[in-house]
Amino acid sequence: MTRPSNTPPFPRLSAALLSGALLLGAASLPAPLAAQPAAVGQQAPAAPEATDDPGEAPGAASIAQAFPNPDPGGLRAWFEERGVTYGLTYIAETLGNVSGGMRRGSVYQGRLDMELSIDLEKLAGLPGLSFHANAFQINGRGLSECCLGNLATVSGIEAQGSSRLYELWLEQALWDDRVALRLGQLGVDTEFFTSQYAGLFVNATFGWPAVMGANLPAGGPAYPLAAPGLRLKLAPVENVTFLAALFDGDPAGPGEDPQRSNRSGTRFRTRDAGLAIAELNLGFTLGSGAAGLPGMVKLGGYHHFGGFDDLRRDANGLSLRDPAGSGVPRRLRGNSGIYASIDQLAYREPGTRDQGLGVFLRVAGSPSATSQIDFYADGGFTYKGLLPGRVNDTLGLGLACAHVSSAARGLDRDQLLFGPTPQPVRSSEAVAEVSYQGEVVPGLTVQPFLQYILRPGGHVANPRDPGGAAIRNATVLGLRAAWRSGTERQAHALEQDGLRRPLTLQ
């Protein structure tokens, strides 16, 4: 993975953070327009009950509601009245590759999510100001790391065992929630390039896509590594939202292993080259009235301002595999990409609010000599309430493909030309997943799933094979359980209302 140089960010992130702090201070003054409370964002129709997205408040009710006294002593209600909400989610899974990969194997892994949100207007009389923090306790080991060697990490909770902070921010909403400024430790995957329907699937690429994870330093400021940043949200009219953010571009810093370099999530780096990203969200409805089918289109792009290694050429334009060359990659400025997505409710079960068929499609491109992946696409469907009497169960099929860039493929061909050891030439990696999420009681779901991975790593040599054969296609079976204890919706869902409104049934 390429890393940015020590060139100061453009624009410099520390200056942006200081400006944001001043804006937050000024924004605590009363808004010039009369503000109306924002409605809490709701689940999109046909979206799953539970997801591993670190920024998504699960739609299922608390498991405590299945018992006679879910709030003994009224403590949770007392805190809620004062603007303080909290919750715990535990995701546990066991999975194994029954064929292919680098080697056969099985693992157990788990993640405890701890969230705290505070409405500072209720608690301290500061209009429009809110606070949010969440942290993870991650345990177990990952199947991709030990047994698969693939680009699209097989699970969205896979990470090295640790207790780590993820997000920690303040947000100021202004002018009837048409403008919101957020400052602090942020994860780009909590708001950008997200999909309601893709959230069902276990494979991590259906959350933060492999094109960004492979091309950006340390995978970008995404799970499990957030970074200091500043985010602006504008919602000028109904069903239109614009998001823009600037992050420190390297959430880990120097070190061979990013997660070990920033093991606790508290390495608040602000002097690296910046990562800028912007996204436009357009909501629409097919049809009218109660029969209308809501959807959302997202268009976005990003640019990292740092220096990156050319994946194929040295400073003289020779191949890095050419014995006549220096073997030192030339440095190029920046890495960019664009993306688009659509979520669409395609069919609603008659007489229901949130059961039916949802479809999604996402595409992204990053055609650069510094990009390992130059094109990415995923898509699929979810169907909620397919079986009689199982109204909160969700079935889904997801497909994803990451295409290896021409620069990376060219380097492999050069190895065949100049190197004594033959090796596979990379092409692409693809994954198919079938998942069924079933509700046991409100707040507790179980989810068996099957993944088939074609050309793990993009068709690379198996490091465990002395002959250098490519890693074989892999079949992965798994079972995930997700348990949630907390309020019915986390308070920080308020900030996503501008994004969710087009997909919400009133």
Q: Flag whether 234 is in a domain.
A: yes
Q: Which residues constitute the domain of residue 252? A: 13-257+273-503
Q: Which two tokens stand for residue 22?
A: 């001043």
Residue 419 gets which letter from DSSP? Answer: -
Measuring CA to CA, which residue among 187, 337, 199 is closest to residue 251?
Answer: 187
Q: Is the pLDDT of residue 501 over 50?
A: no
Q: Flag whether 5 is in a domain.
A: no
Q: How many CB atoms lie within 10 A of CB 287?
A: 10
Residue ranges of E strands in 270-424: 274-286, 293-314, 329-348, 356-365, 373-384, 394-404
Does the N-terminal peptide bond of residue 367 adopt cis geometry, omega within 30 degrees of 0? no
Average pLDDT over residues 182-196: 96
The pTM of this model reads: 0.86
Q: How many CB atoms lie within 10 A of CB 258?
A: 21
Q: Is the pLDDT of residue 344 over 80?
A: yes
Q: Flag whether 8 is in a domain.
A: no
Contacts of 432 (CB under 8 A, 6+ apart): 397, 398, 399, 451, 452
Give kind and range of the element (H or E) at residue 210. helix 210-215
pLDDT of residue 31: 33
Q: Flag whether 266 is in a domain.
A: no
* DSSP of 137-186: EEEE--HIIIII--SS-S-TT---SEEEEEEEEEEEEETTTTEEEEEEEE
Q: Is the pLDDT of residue 506 over 90?
A: no
Q: Flag whether 171 is in a domain.
A: yes
Q: Give the span between the Cα atoms of 161 and 155, in whole angstroms.
A: 14
Domain count, the chain: 1
Q: Which two tokens stand for residue 482?
A: 């997700």
Q: Flag whether 6 is in a domain.
A: no
Q: Flag whether 465 is in a domain.
A: yes
Q: Is the pLDDT of residue 374 over 60?
A: yes
Give residue 283's identity as a one-letter amino acid code: G
CATH of the domain at 449: 2.40.160.180
Q: What is the pLDDT of residues 2-44, one digit of tens each?
A: 444 444 443 444 444 334 433 333 333 333 322 222 332 346 7
pLDDT of residue 494: 34
Q: Flag whether 3 is in a domain.
A: no
Q: What is the pLDDT of residues 382-419, one digit of tens each?
A: 999 999 999 999 999 999 999 999 999 999 999 888 87
Q: Give the span between the Cα atoms of 264 and 329, in whole angstroms.
A: 32
| C-beta separation of 476 from 95 below 8 A | yes
